[in-house]
Amino acid sequence: MVERGKLDPRSKLFFVATISSFAVGVSDTRMLLFLFILAALALVYLGTGIYQAVHRLGKLIYVVLALAIVQSVLTDAGEPLIRLMGVTILTDYGIERAAQFLLRVSIIITSSFLILTSTTRDLIQGLLQMKLPYELVFMLSIAAKFLPTLRNEMIHKVMAMELQGIDLKGIRMGKKLKAYRYLLLPVTVNSLLKSRELGVAMEMRGFRAMETRTSFRQLRLEGKDYLFMGATAATVIIAYIIIT
């Protein structure tokens, strides 16, 4: 059996890539539903991120609702379900399109959470062994490490603003943009300054001083990884043939 979370990050990337590209490519609601279930099962099996994933998706509900209405109003297709003063507000087609959108986003979010069950270090090593250039991978890892710092800074800045009597949630749209400018400009400039410092610090420690770079730790694809990737590909392709 596969040990929880101990799959090679490359296997997980393969899973995410397969599932996501099918999610974007197909337009059959049942197939999308199947992909979503598959992604959710994999997530439950490999990690504990399912609650966060569901939480994140919960926030999308308004977007989905708005999308259902927009699709219904703007297209002629489908049977009207709700009409208001002669205008079709909601059609079955609109609902289906919204459901498909929800499923696609859910699949992508759920499967991305799968990647997070690997440590950043493993992920970087995996990407490197996939022959991605070190600079690029390193940049990605820095960006990933920057995010919590950035989040912390934003949380504090928003609170500092509120303490000054400016409540971002309670202000008009036009003013909101202005408030966001005051919020984001200093954060952006500070990030740029920080990254410049980081660049100098890296060069001082010999970043790119040598042509080639070797890693002490090497990841190896094992039997369970091949099994997992094979099963993923087979399940998705068979399901695609049966359903569509």
Q: Least CB distance from residue 192 to another protein, whole Å?
A: 9
CA dist., res. 17 & res. 112, Å (int):
9
Q: Which is nearer to another protein, 82 or 184 (CB)?
A: 184
φ/ψ of residue 49, rounded to 5: -75, 0
- Residue 217 contacts by C-beta under 8 Å, 6 or more apart in sequence? 125
Tell me how far, at minimum, the Cβ of 152 lies from another protein, in Å: 9
Q: How far is the CB of 58 from another protein (least distance, A)?
A: 20
87: part of which helix (H) or strand (E)?
strand 87-91
- Specify the residue, 182 or 226, whose C-beta has the smaller distance to another protein: 182
Nearer to another protein, 176 or 213 (CB): 176
Nearer to another protein, 60 or 179 (CB): 179
Minimum distance from CB of 86 to another protein (Å)? 43
Q: Which residues bind another protein (CB under 8 A)?
A: 153, 156-157, 159-167, 175, 178-179, 182-183, 185-186, 189-190, 193
H-helix segments, 26-169: 29-46, 50-58, 61-74, 92-115, 120-129, 134-163
117 contacts 5 by C-beta, under 8 angstroms: yes
